[in-house]
Amino acid sequence: MDTNESEPIVGGIDNDGLEPEPGVSSVAPRKKWRKRSIVILSAVGAVIVASAATGIAATAQIVTADSRTSSSGTTVTPQQPGPGQFGNSRASTAVTPSATAATNAQAVGVVTIDTVLKYQGAAAAGTGMILTSSGEILTNNHVIAGATSISVTVVSTGAVYVADVVGTDASSDIAVLQLENASGLSTVTTDTTTQTAVTNDVTAVGNAGGTGTLVAASGQITAVGQAITASGDGTSGSEALSGLIETNANVVAGDSGGPLYDAGGEVIGIDTAASSGSSTVAGYAIPIGTALGIVNQIGAGAETSTITIGYPGFLGVEIGGTVVGTTVGATVGGVIAATPAAAAGLVAGDTITAVNGSAVASASQLSQLLRNYKPGDSVTIGWTDAVGGIHSASMVLIQGPAD
């Protein structure tokens, strides 16, 4: 029997702050940029992350613009833009970035986000922007990934709301939330028409350090059309973000999901990532037009290969890998208490072989099959135990953590 480990946890413990690794562009770069360590930005203290391979909890540090830290230094090389992207000329004049408390005007329409990651024994914090008076919120996906509960504070009023996930696009690092029982909220003002340009003055605002206090960091746009490749710590997968605005504003952990303002006080981007371990300050923001395009797709309510609507269904198993041999399937690395899998009697060492009659040939296929189901759906899981016994049980999926 041959087991290939390292598949992510199936059923929703798939959250560990994203951090970049060397970027690869589909377009060969015409210039070489020096490498720098980049982190995606959310705020967390020490985090407990369940290992997908073994089911054993391990500590992880966090340093992202949602405030998680990378346990190993990885680098990113900004790439030249592809066809249709902005050029990436850089500012020739040096500007020393500064950070101060955000003004009342900069706080309008901005929220701080606090999440509980129950299955990781952790909490995280980040930033978001109010898009509608009824409480639609834009933030980064990595700010709320793995969250089992989300609390949002409107900075300008101090009002606190429970938030639900409307939808996410992990591949673009965008998430949309809806505040419960919200009305009459002030929104951010966005600018999707003015073309961003190098040397334009900007200000990044966010929940720096996850303290709940907004900080504003001024600077300039230093490049546009930038691309990075980011991967979750401890996973084999990676995600590419392209078309980013680069700035020398001092974007820090906790700023993820916050606004990047232009000189007129309008939002032109969503703070997402920043350099680390270098004397050169470089922050990255997703252009607001790009983000709002994804918001509209999520609002349409149709799932795609990248967009998830609402919360995923949750089985409650940690997958250890793919089994190839006498029994083919996905090995159970661990089972979470008080979940459908635990109630059905699945235990670590079992091999899941089928979902609703569809054969499971690998851990990744199991993940894909389960993505077709929502909380409240009934699925029949087939599995083989460690001594070869064959089992089958119907399970009603519960609400899982945000994707």
Catalytic residues: 142, 173, 256
Q: What is the length of the chain?
A: 403
Residue 187 and residue 109 in contact, taking contact as beta carbons nearer than 8 Å: yes
Tokens representing 163 are 């938030």
b/e for 370-386, b at 16 or more Cβ within 10 A? Answer: beebbeeeebebbbbbe
CA quadruple 331, 335, 341, 342: dihedral positive or negative?
positive
Cα atoms in the Cβ-side hemisphere of radius 13 Å centred on 325: 12
User: Which contacts of 294-299 are long-range, i.e. CB under 8 A and separated by 24 or more positions?
Assistant: 294/169, 294/172, 294/174, 295/131, 295/136, 295/138, 295/174, 295/176, 297/169, 298/166, 298/167, 298/168, 298/169, 298/174, 298/176, 299/166, 299/167, 299/176
- How far is C-alpha 15 from the chain's CA centre? 8
Longest dimension (CA), the chain: 70
